């Protein structure tokens, strides 16, 4: 199997867009008919509804976008039944040709970090994800086991660098040795990425950089030329296509832009709700996906893809 960065580049080129669809199921926002309200406290019923919901979204977006990003929290929220649904969804998405980046924000040290990495990274692993998001607070020796396993298993990781939420400033924007903390993390991540290049110029270690901080996106793109960016914060968090333009390289590569609620719950957003009604929620998902693709193609270097 070819490396994760090369597979990501190839998938983006095939789809001609860098849209990452976030799979964040929530019981109280599912389209009508997927979960009987009387079953909302029964984990197996909720898990089955999440699985059906995600499968139908995957059916809509496969071959349109390169990748999906299941959010582990919403599956774990309902207990072990939810994690079984998560594993099923990961496999199903891949069967439909999608790459899967699992958003778990895991981290730990030494052999514990290795356990997470072995469990999640690569299609032969228990969960089978192509890539995993990872948190950096524990430092370099907590990230190295993930990098090693990712290299062995043809997987990738995305390390939190500059997150999209306002509170991210608390630690990430503190200045030490003349640079904000996120910049220290960024430079370490770039070194890891540069030492693990695929055939494309990007490495197996990527960075999470929020759409809500366009200036930092530009700053980091300039100093992280071997690092794939996973860009959250588009849509419901306020990021626009213009805001994420700086995340791309001159060829329109180097970044994937996530949208979760703005796509999967499009049926509850006014323009789509009016057009499709509540029942045709899959059509709303499709329209919202196509609209986001078009916005990125119009207002960012992704138009060159």
Owner of token pair 């999640």 = 120
Residue from 33, 97, 139, 238 that binds a second copy (CB under 8 A)? Answer: 139
CA angle 161-164-166, nearest 5°? 110
Do the Cβ atoms of 257 and 211 come closer than 8 Å?
A: yes
Short-list 158, 156, 149, CA closest to 117: 149
From 45, 64, 69, 105, active-site residue: 105
124 binds a second copy (CB under 8 A): no
Least Cβ distance, residue 72 to a second copy (angstroms):
9
Residue 127 interacts with a second copy (CB under 8 A): yes or no: yes
Q: How far is the CB of 63 from a second copy (least distance, A)?
A: 28
Site membership for a second copy, residue 292 (CB under 8 A): no
Instruction: Specify the stretch interacting with a second copy by CB under 8 A; choose among 10-18, 142-150, 216-224, 274-282.
Output: 142-150
CB 239 within 8 A of CB 20: no
109 binds a second copy (CB under 8 A): yes
Sign of CA dihedral 221, 223, 226, 227: negative
Please state the closest distance from residue 146 (CB atom) to a second copy, in A.
12
Residues in 5-44 at the binding interface with a second copy, rule: CB under 8 A: 24, 26, 43
Of the candidate residues 31, 136, 156, 239, the single one contacting a second copy (CB under 8 A) = 136
Please give the Cα distance from 69 to 251 (Å, whole number). 24
In whole angstroms, how close is the CB of 197 to a second copy at the nearest point?
23
DSSP letter for each residue of 187-248: HHHHHHHHTTB-SSS-BSEEEEE-TT-HHHHHHHHHH-TT--EEE--BSTTSB-HHHHGGGS
The reply on whether position 268 binds a second copy by CB under 8 A is: no
259 is a contact residue toward a second copy (CB under 8 A): no
How deeply is 222 buried, as exposed, middle or buried, from its count of CB atoms within 10 A (0-12, 13-18, 19+)? exposed
Cα three-residue angle 8-208-47, rounded to 5 degrees: 75
Is 105 assigned a catalytic role?
yes
146-205: contacts with a second copy (CB under 8 A) = 160, 163-172, 174-177, 181, 184-185, 188
Q: How far is the CB of 128 from a second copy (least distance, A)?
A: 9
According to the binding rule CB under 8 A, does residue 77 interact with a second copy? Answer: yes
Secondary structure E strands in 17-79: 19-23, 67-70
120 binds a second copy (CB under 8 A): yes
- Which residues carry out catalysis? 105
Residues binding a second copy (CB under 8 A):
24, 26, 43, 71, 73-74, 76-80, 82-84, 86-87, 103, 105-113, 115-116, 118-120, 126-127, 135-144, 160, 163-172, 174-177, 181, 184-185, 188
């Amino acid at each position: 199997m070819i490396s994760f960065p090369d597979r990501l580049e190839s998938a983006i080129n095939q789809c001609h867009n860098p849209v990452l669809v976030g799979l964040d199921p929530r019981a109280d926002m599912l389209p009508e008919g997927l979960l009987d309200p009387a079953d909302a406290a029964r984990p197996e019923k909720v898990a089955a509804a999440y699985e059906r919901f995600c499968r139908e979204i995957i059916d809509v977006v496969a071959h349109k976008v390169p990748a999906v990003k299941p959010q582990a929290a919403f599956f774990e929220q309902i207990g072990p039944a939810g994690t079984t649904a998560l594993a099923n969804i990961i496999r199903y998405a891949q069967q439909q040709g999608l790459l899967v980046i699992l958003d778990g924000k895991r981290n730990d040290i030494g052999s514990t970090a290795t356990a997470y990495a072995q469990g999640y990274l690569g299609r032969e692993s228990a969960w089978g994800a192509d890539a995993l998001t990872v948190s950096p607070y524990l430092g370099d020796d907590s990230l190295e086991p993930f990098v090693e396993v990712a290299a062995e298993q043809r997987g990738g990781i995305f390390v939190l660098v500059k997150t999209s939420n306002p509170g991210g400033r608390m630690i990430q924007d503190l200045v030490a040795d003349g640079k904000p903390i996120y910049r220290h993390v960024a430079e370490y991540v770039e070194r890891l990425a540069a030492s693990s290049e695929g055939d494309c110029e990007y490495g197996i270690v990527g960075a999470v950089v929020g759409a809500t901080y366009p200036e930092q996106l530009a700053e980091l793109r300039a100093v992280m030329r071997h690092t794939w960016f996973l860009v959250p914060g588009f849509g419901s968090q306020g990021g626009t296509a213009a805001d994420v333009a700086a995340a791309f390289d001159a060829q329109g590569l180097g970044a994937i832009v996530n949208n979760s609620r703005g796509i999967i719950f499009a049926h509850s957003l006014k323009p789509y709700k009016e057009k499709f009604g509540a029942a045709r929620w899959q059509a709303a998902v499709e329209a919202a996906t196509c609209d986001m693709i078009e916005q990125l193609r119009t207002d960012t270097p992704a138009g060159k893809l």
